[in-house]
Each structure stands twice: as structure tokens, then as C-alpha cells.
């Protein structure tokens, strides 16, 4: 009776498959009927919505089991072994562009790809839309104008009197962060999940903070703001008297807080980069773990979880990055 | 026994504090919106900003754990 | 933490910063500035046209007030002229009425004179006939021929008595 074993095995596999397929199709059909019947009733109670929900559950479960079994039949089930996490420093790509001995990290390649796409899109828009701009915008022009105006208003809310170039920098930064979140959805290693990129971006921000701070307040003014000294601006004071008046303010207890303020100012680039890098890399690791844990059953579940980790979190982090940049610059240029 | 795993596990205790803080912030935000529903937009943006900043402490913990585990 | 230093390589950081700067410059030149310029122009154009519309509106209001004043003036003029004309018409009507009355009075007098003449003529004729009739009657009564001159003498005396008595109606 050896064939009974085989038959049982076969029945187990294909039987479940057929049952799952049947469940999916029937569930879908009955769900449609129940929905139509429900549409006539006004203000349905929970009890009346029950048939639709039951049939939805049956249909989705059936479809999922069917897809999983199909995949496991088509591709042989292998043991994945130890979990190979994505490297923090991604593997360097050798012999890029056919040039012997040139090795570039894939982050740079992805970044160049994103830049090419963005610049290509900008050129396209420049040549088609910007030529014939209408008074009442529609479609793509409306989208562009909304973005530019929204950003202008956001930057202008926090900081007044900034040059146009600053808004353009924020525009480029926001686009880069959003595009890298989109690239992660395609399965590539996101460029902002590289610690060098995150450090680079936060260094630019730190440079901008210092630049605007020094421009607005002057070199000594900045140091004085660390020490908590209000600038003595009464007219008629000569230089020596002004210095004395300001030195007198050092006798307050807020002078002790000066080193902490300097330290927290130095920590700014570190915290920005770590926040960005940690979020992106952590999201990637979690989704990879999910894919590894469900070998062939990874149908639909990682995409739902990936929605949270690969779409929501990166976008929020992009928004936070931009907001924090503006906040730090505002703090550095605030008049006391 | 791999001690690095224990170290990495200990790092993730930072997430506890972050979760507590974010839960309290959410509760206060919900209360504020219930008290004055017209300010829901502003409360929303302040709330999201605070959440992201608080979450960064948990992310620092995660980062340290990852570095301990994966950097040889 | 020796492995950590391998992660961070300054050359890559520099490259990334350069990438970011290039992206920023390109996007600013291609998209940001033209869109912003267009939006500014449109806002200015709208503001200018709004101002123009307001000016035209103010001008129209002024003109309207002017025209209304002028219309009121014209109405008053018309009213005064109407009063004048009615007065003149009344006066002329009065004179015409008076002249008509005078004419009618004259006509009436003339008619009365005419009627009197006719009456006198008729009276004379009737006198002759009545005299002849009376003589005939008297002849019959007297049965004799009466003298023509006697008869005429009698008739004249009869009529004088009648006229003394009163007008013959």
C-alpha cells in the first residue's frame, strides 16, 4: 500500500490547492452578491455587514493559500540557512562601466541614477510645460506650482528674508529624500541608508546653520549667544563700556550652561545623520528579516508591513530632516 | 556563548522609554484635540514632530545594536 | 570598535556632498527659478489688473455722479420751461377768448340790427296789406267806396296809436 502514501501526499498538496482556489472564487462571487444586497439597505448595522466580511475573509485566505502553494510547487523549497543581513557598508561594485579597477559603492551609483532621473524630468518639464504656461494652471503645472508655493510658504513661515536659493536647496533636499524612499520600494539599496550619505547631508546642514548664524550675528555675536549674553546696544556707549556691560552679564547662573549649549550645538550633525540612517537602515533590515522568515509564504504580508517601514517612515524622516534644518537655522539667527 | 548578542539585546531597552514617552504624548494630543477641535491641524503637526524626535532615541538604540551585531 | 572606522570614509562623504550641490544647482536653475518667476509675474499682473479695475471703477462712479447731476439740472430746466409755456399758452388763450367774445358780440349786434331792419321792412309790407284789407272790409261794411286817401289817413292814425301803445312784438 505504498501508493496510498503517495496518494495522500498528492492529495494533500493538490487537494489543498484546489480547495483554496475554490474558496477564493466562491468567496469572491458570494461577496459580490452580499454587497449588492447590502447596498439597498440604508444605514446597515454591524450584524448586517457580517456576510460581506465573512466572504471577504474566505476569499482573501483562499487566494493567499493558493498563491503560496503555487509558488512552493513551482520553486523548490530550500533551506535559507543563516540570516544574511544587509551590510551597513554595502558591497563595493567592482569594474564599473567596464573600466578595470574602478570600484564604486552602489550608493553612489543609485544616487547618480536618482539625479539623472530628476534632472531628466526637470529638463522635460522645462521644455514642455514651462514654455506654455497658462494663467489658470492645470495638471502638471498645477502640481509644480503647488510644490513650489507650499515650500516657499513653509520656509517663509519659519525664516523671514531668506534668499531664493535657500528655498531651492530645501526643494532639492526634499526631492532627494522622497526619491530615495521610492527607490527602496523597488528593492534596491536606498542611498540614504548609507551612513556616508547621511553624514554628508547633515554636514551640509551644519555648514548652513553656521554660515547663516555668523552672517546674521557676526563672529563674536555667535559666541556671545552661547554664553547667554544679551548684546548691549544702547547708543552713546563707547567700546570699553559696552564690553564691560556685557561682561557683567556673565555673573548670572546661565553662564554654567554655556558648555552644554556648545555641546548640543556640536551634536546636531551627529543626531541628524544618525536619525536618518537609523530609520532607513532599520526599515530595510526589518523587511529583509520578514522576507527571510517566511520563505515562500511571503505573499502580500511583507508588502503590508513594508508599507509602514518603507513608505511611511522614510517620508516622515524626510519631513523631519527638513523641519529640523529649518528649526536649527531659525534658532541660530533668532534675535533675542 | 556569544556575548555580543546580549549586548545588542541590552541596547534595545532604549525603545521602552521611547514607547512610554510617545504613548503619553499621544494621549495628551488626543486630549487637546478633544478640548478644542478647531486646532486639530496645528496639534497634528506638533504631535508628529514630537513623535519623530522621540522616536530617534529608540533609533539610536537600534543603530547601536546593529553596529554591535554586524560590524566585525 | 575598530570595525566602525571602516564604515565612514571621508572621500565618499565628499563625493556625496558634491552630488548634492550639483543636484541643488541644476534643480534651481531648471525648475525652481522659472516657476517662481512665473508665479511672481502672474501675481504682479493680477495685482496690476486689479488696480486698473479699481481705477476704472472709481472713474465710472465719478462719471455716474456727474451725469446724474446733469440730468437733475436738465429736469429742472425742463420743468421751468414747461411752466413758462403753460403761462404763455394761458395768456394767449385768454386773449383769443376775449377777441372771440368781442367778435361774437359784434356779430350778435349786427344780427340784431339786421333782424330789426327785416322786421321794419316786414312791418311796412304788412302795414300796406293790412291797410288794403281794412279798406276792403270797411268798404264792405260801409258798402260804398271809400276814398283812397281817407283810407290811408285812417290806417296811419291806427298805426300811430299802435306804436304809441308799445313795440309790436
Is pLDDT larger for residue C111 or for residue C139?
Answer: C111
Q: Out of A88, A285, A320, name the one closest to residue B52 (CB).
A: A320
Predicted pLDDT at C54 = 92
Taking the C-alpha atoms of residue A122 and residue A120, their distance in angstroms, rounded to an integer, is 5
**In total, how many domains does chain A have?**
2
Q: Out of A271, A281, A323, name the one closest to residue B56 (CB).
A: A271
> Same domain, yes or no, for A173 and A310?
yes
- The answer to the question of residue A81 being in a domain is no
Q: Out of A88, A123, A201, name the one closest to residue C30 (CB).
A: A123
- What average pLDDT score do residues A118-125 get? 88
Confidence label for B22 from pLDDT (cuts 50, 70 and 90): very high
Predicted pLDDT at A306 = 83
- Cβ pair B69, B8 in contact under 8 A: yes
The per-residue pLDDT of chain A, averaged, comes to: 80
Q: Report CB contact under 8 Å: A274, B63.
A: yes
Show which of A74, A89, A109 is a domain's final residue: A74
Q: Which of B2, B41, B53, B63 to probe the A interface (max A CBs under 10 A)?
A: B63
> Same domain, yes or no, for A70 and A159?
no
Q: Could you tell me which residues of chain A have a Cβ less than 8 Å from any Cβ in chain C? A: 88-89, 105, 107-108, 111-112, 115, 118-119, 122-123, 125-126, 130, 133, 135, 144-145, 148-149, 152, 164-165, 167-169, 171-173, 175-176, 195-197, 199-201, 203-204
| Cell 510547487 found at | A73
Q: Report CB contact under 8 Å: B56, A274.
A: yes
Taking the C-alpha atoms of residue A110 and residue A188, their distance in angstroms, rounded to an integer, is 8
Residues of A in contact with B5 (CB under 8 A): none
Predicted pLDDT at A283 = 86
One-letter-per-residue 3-state SS of A291-316: HHHCCCCCCCHHHHHHHHHHHHHHHH
| DSSP annotation of A336 | -
Is pLDDT larger for residue C102 or for residue A238?
Answer: C102
Lowest mean pLDDT segment, chosen from B68-72, C42-46, C107-111: B68-72
C-alpha cell at position B46:
506638533
Q: Could you tell me which residues of chain B have a Cβ less than 8 Å from any Cβ in chain A? A: 48-49, 52-53, 56, 59-60, 62-63, 66-67, 69-71
- Cβ pair B25, B47 in contact under 8 A: yes
- The answer to the question of residue A123 being in a domain is no
Cα A29 from chain centre: 39
C-alpha cell at position A1:
500500500
- What average pLDDT score do residues A228-251 get? 71
pLDDT digits (tens, 9 = 90+) for A145-155: 888 888 888 88
Show which of A74, A92, A115 is a domain's final residue: A74
pLDDT digits (tens, 9 = 90+) for A20-52: 888 888 888 888 888 888 777 777 777 777 888
Neighbours of chain C (3+ CB pairs under 8 A): A, B
CA atoms within 13 A on the CB side of A28: 9
Residues of C in contact with A169 (CB under 8 A): 24, 28
- Alpha helices (H) in A41-139, listed in sequence order: 46-74, 106-128
Asked whether residue A163 carries a pLDDT value surpassing 80, the answer given is: no
Confidence label for B37 from pLDDT (cuts 50, 70 and 90): very high
- Alpha helices (H) in chain C, listed in sequence order: 4-7, 10-27, 33-142, 148-165
pLDDT digits (tens, 9 = 90+) for A277-314: 988 888 888 888 888 887 777 777 888 888 888 888 88
- The answer to the question of residue A171 being in a domain is yes
C-alpha cell at position A129:
510645460
> Same domain, yes or no, for A312 and A174?
yes
Provide the 3-class DSSP secondary structure of residue B13: coil
* A312 Cα to chain C: minimum distance (Å): 23
Report yes or no for ipTM above 0.85. no
> Same domain, yes or no, for A175 and A65?
no
Predicted pLDDT at A117 = 92
- CA dist A273 → A168, A192, A276, B60, C53 (Å): 21, 10, 5, 11, 54
Predicted pLDDT at C1 = 44
Burial (Cβ within 10 Å: 0-12, 13-18, ≥19) of residue A272 = buried
Taking the C-alpha atoms of residue A174 and residue A190, their distance in angstroms, rounded to an integer, is 15
Q: Report CB contact under 8 Å: A133, C38.
A: yes
Query: Any idea of the CA torsion for A209, A211, A213, A215, to the nearest 10 degrees?
Result: -160
> Same domain, yes or no, for A194 and A56?
no
What is the span of the domain harbouring residue A60? 9-74
Handedness of CA A11, A12, A16, A17 (dihedral sign): negative
Query: Any idea of the CA torsion for C139, C140, C142, C148, to the nearest 10 degrees?
Result: 0
> Same domain, yes or no, for A193 and A304?
yes
- CB proximity list for A302: less than 8 A, separation 6 or greater: A287, A290, A291, A294
- CB proximity list for A327: less than 8 A, separation 6 or greater: A158
Confidence label for A99 from pLDDT (cuts 50, 70 and 90): low
- Cβ pair A104, C16 in contact under 8 A: no
| DSSP annotation of A307 | I
Show which of A50, A74, A98 is a domain's final residue: A74
Taking the C-alpha atoms of residue C169 and residue C162, their distance in angstroms, rounded to an integer, is 11
> Same domain, yes or no, for A162 and A50?
no
Predicted pLDDT at C76 = 92
Cα C102 from chain centre: 33
Q: Report CB contact under 8 Å: C16, A112.
A: no
Q: Where are the domains of chain B?
A: 32-72
Q: Report CB contact under 8 Å: C28, A125.
A: no
CA atoms within 13 A on the CB side of A163: 7
pLDDT digits (tens, 9 = 90+) for A205-228: 999 988 888 888 777 777 777 777
Burial (Cβ within 10 Å: 0-12, 13-18, ≥19) of residue A172 = buried
CA atoms within 13 A on the CB side of C1: 9
pLDDT digits (tens, 9 = 90+) for C8-55: 788 888 989 999 999 999 988 888 888 888 888 888 888 898 999 999
Residues of C in contact with A200 (CB under 8 A): 12-14, 16-17, 20
pLDDT digits (tens, 9 = 90+) for A248-284: 777 777 778 888 888 888 888 989 999 999 888 888 8
Q: Report CB contact under 8 Å: A323, B49.
A: yes
Amino acid at each position: 500500500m505504498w501508493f496510498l502514501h503517495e496518494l495522500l501526499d498528492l492529495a494533500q498538496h493538490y487537494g489543498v490547492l484546489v480547495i483554496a482556489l475554490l474558496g477564493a472564487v466562491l468567496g469572491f462571487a458570494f461577496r459580490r452578491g452580499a454587497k449588492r444586497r447590502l447596498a439597498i439597505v440604508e444605514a446597515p448595522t454591524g450584524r448586517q455587514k457580517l456576510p460581506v466580511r465573512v466572504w471577504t475573509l474566505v476569499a482573501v485566505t483562499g487566494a493567499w493559500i493558493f498563491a503560496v502553494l503555487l509558488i512552493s510547487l513551482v520553486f523548490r523549497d530550500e533551506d535559507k540557512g543563516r540570516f544574511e543581513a544587509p551590510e551597513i557598508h554595502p558591497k563595493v561594485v567592482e569594474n564599473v562601466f567596464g573600466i578595470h579597477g574602478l570600484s564604486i559603492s552602489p550608493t553612489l551609483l543609485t544616487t547618480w541614477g536618482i539625479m539623472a532621473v530628476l534632472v531628466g524630468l526637470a529638463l522635460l518639464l522645462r521644455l514642455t510645460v514651462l514654455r506654455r504656461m497658462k494663467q489658470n494652471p492645470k495638471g502638471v503645472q498645477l502640481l509644480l506650482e503647488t510644490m513650489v508655493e507650499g515650500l516657499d510658504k513653509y520656509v517663509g513661515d519659519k525664516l523671514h528674508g531668506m534668499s531664493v536659493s535657500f528655498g531651492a536647496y530645501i526643494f532639492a533636499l526634499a526631492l532627494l529624500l522622497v526619491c530615495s524612499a521610492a527607490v527602496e520600494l523597488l528593492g534596491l539599496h536606498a542611498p540614504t541608508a548609507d551612513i556616508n550619505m547621511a553624514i554628508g547631508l547633515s554636514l551640509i546642514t551644519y555648514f548652513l546653520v553656521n554660515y547663516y548664524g555668523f552672517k546674521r550675528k557676526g563672529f563674536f555675536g555667535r559666541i556671545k549667544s552661547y554664553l547667554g549674553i544679551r548684546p548691549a546696544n544702547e547708543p552713546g556707549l563707547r567700546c570699553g563700556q559696552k564690553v564691560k556691560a556685557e561682561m557683567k552679564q556673565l555673573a548670572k547662573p546661565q553662564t554654567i550652561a554655556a558648555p552644554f549649549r556648545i555641546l548640543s550645538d556640536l551634536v546636531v550633525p551627529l543626531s541628524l545623520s544618525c536619525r536618518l540612517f537609523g530609520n532607513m537602515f532599520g526599515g530595510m533590515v526589518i523587511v529583509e528579516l520578514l522576507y527571510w522568515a517566511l520563505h515562500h509564504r511571503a505573499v502580500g504580508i511583507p508588502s503590508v508591513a513594508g508599507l509602514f517601514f518603507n513608505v511611511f517612515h522614510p517620508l516622515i524622516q524626510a519631513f523631519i530632516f527638513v523641519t529640523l534644518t529649518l528649526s536649527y537655522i531659525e534658532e541660530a539667527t533668532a534675535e533675542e | 556563548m556569544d556575548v555580543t548578542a546580549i549586548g545588542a539585546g541590552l541596547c534595545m531597552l532604549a525603545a521602552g522609554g521611547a514607547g512610554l514617552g510617545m504613548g503619553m504624548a499621544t494621549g495628551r494630543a488626543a486630549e487637546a484635540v478633544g478640548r478644542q477641535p478647531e486646532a486639530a491641524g496645528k496639534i497634528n503637526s506638533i504631535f508628529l514632530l514630537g513623535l519623530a524626535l522621540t522616536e530617534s532615541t529608540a533609533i539610536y538604540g537600534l543603530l547601536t545594536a546593529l553596529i554591535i551585531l554586524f560590524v566585525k | 570598535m575598530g570595525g566602525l572606522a571602516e564604515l565612514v570614509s571621508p572621500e565618499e562623504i565628499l563625493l556625496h556632498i558634491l552630488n548634492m550641490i550639483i543636484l541643488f544647482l541644476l534643480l534651481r536653475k531648471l525648475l525652481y527659478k522659472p516657476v517662481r518667476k512665473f508665479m511672481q509675474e502672474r501675481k504682479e499682473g493680477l495685482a496690476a489688473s486689479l488696480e486698473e479695475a479699481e481705477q476704472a471703477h472709481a472713474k465710472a462712479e465719478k462719471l455716474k455722479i456727474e451725469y446724474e447731476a446733469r440730468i437733475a439740472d436738465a429736469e429742472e430746466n425742463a420743468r421751468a420751461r414747461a411752466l413758462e409755456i403753460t403761462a404763455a399758452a394761458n395768456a394767449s388763450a385768454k386773449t383769443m377768448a376775449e377777441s372771440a367774445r368781442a367778435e361774437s358780440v359784434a356779430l350778435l349786434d349786427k344780427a340784431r340790427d339786421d333782424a330789426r331792419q327785416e322786421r321794419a321792412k316786414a312791418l311796412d309790407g304788412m302795414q300796406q296789406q293790412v291797410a288794403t284789407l281794412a279798406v276792403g272790409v270797411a268798404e264792405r261794411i260801409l258798402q260804398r267806396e271809400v276814398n283812397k286817401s281817407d283810407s290811408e289817413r285812417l290806417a296811419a292814425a291806427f298805426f300811430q296809436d299802435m306804436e304809441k301803445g308799445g313795440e309790436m312784438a
